[in-house]
Amino acid sequence: MSDDRLLFELSDGIAILTLNRPEVMNAFEDGMREALFERLEECAENRDVRCVVITGAGRAFSAGGDIASMAKLQEENDLSVVEARMSIAGQVIQQIRRMPQPVLAAINGAAAGGGMNLALACDMRIASDKAVFAESFVKIGLIPDWGGFDFLSKLVGTAKAMELMMLGDRIDAAEAHRLGLVNRIVPDDDFRDEAAKLAQRLADGPPATLAAIKEGVYRGVESTLPETLSYEYKTQRQLFLRSDAREGMRAFLEKRPAVYGDRDD
């Protein structure tokens, strides 16, 4: 698959997916959501991919939906395209959640509307200190989509989610970090290097273990304590005798860095 609106690069176990419409702050147009979904599907099945990074070209991560395009659909009283766009957006965020690799949002600039919620759908988030965030849907009379009701409410609680969604105000990177929306912020001049370092640490980790941690964290949010304990019991037994666990323990005892292998023995 080739689409210059979504750039793809794979190196040292890291797949970088770059939203590439910088002239409109990487707003989504028809085909971009599909391209993102297809690339994520491909990455999930590729043993060479150990970590996925989603970022934006230019000065923005993503401004979300293309409002000019949406206004045209309103003039034509056309809901069919909107329905299709929301459907594929839902597939994108569900694919992020179910794929075994960690998915890192590298938020290089503005993340608004669907762009913000795409970032929140990722497993971890690193942001430039110049990044800004906005649940801007209310400004055009719409509700959040791309899973925003789920992600934002769980991250910041219902009252703060109400505020951010009902007012649609922008917040800066420092406030996003304080609220727990991003894992870390770094100076803009160092952003690409720091994002690459974090992605490499994830790519160098034990793949099956990271996949199990990812599944366990999301299960823990939704499950009861007995269900979580059952998952821990079952999964720890599965991992204990695998080659990566053996390597990790040998490396610890030998006081050297561990070198982990494929996600399947």
CB atoms within 10 A of CB 233: 10
pLDDT at residue 75 tops 90? no
Model confidence pLDDT, tens digit, residues 164-198:
999 999 999 999 999 999 999 999 999 999 999 99
Burial class (CB in 10 A: 0-12, 13-18, 19+), 14: buried
What does the pLDDT average to over 55-84? 89
- What's the chain's average pLDDT? 94
pLDDT at residue 73 tops 90? no
Model confidence pLDDT, tens digit, residues 207-237:
999 999 999 999 999 999 999 999 999 999 9
Percent of the chain topping pLDDT 70: 97
Model confidence pLDDT, tens digit, residues 86-121:
999 999 999 999 999 999 999 999 999 999 999 999
**What pTM was computed for the model?**
0.93
User: What pLDDT is recorded for position 1?
Assistant: 46
CB atoms within 10 A of CB 155: 15
Entry field: residues in the chain: 265
Contact 156, 179 (CB under 8 A): yes
Q: Which residue has the higher pLDDT, 85 or 17?
A: 17
pLDDT at residue 137 tops 90? yes
Q: Are strands 14-19 and 6-11 parallel, antiparallel or unpaired?
A: antiparallel
What's the CA gap between 14 and 79, in Å, rounded? Answer: 38
Q: Are strands 184-186 and 110-112 parallel, antiparallel or unpaired?
A: unpaired
Contact 110, 59 (CB under 8 A): yes
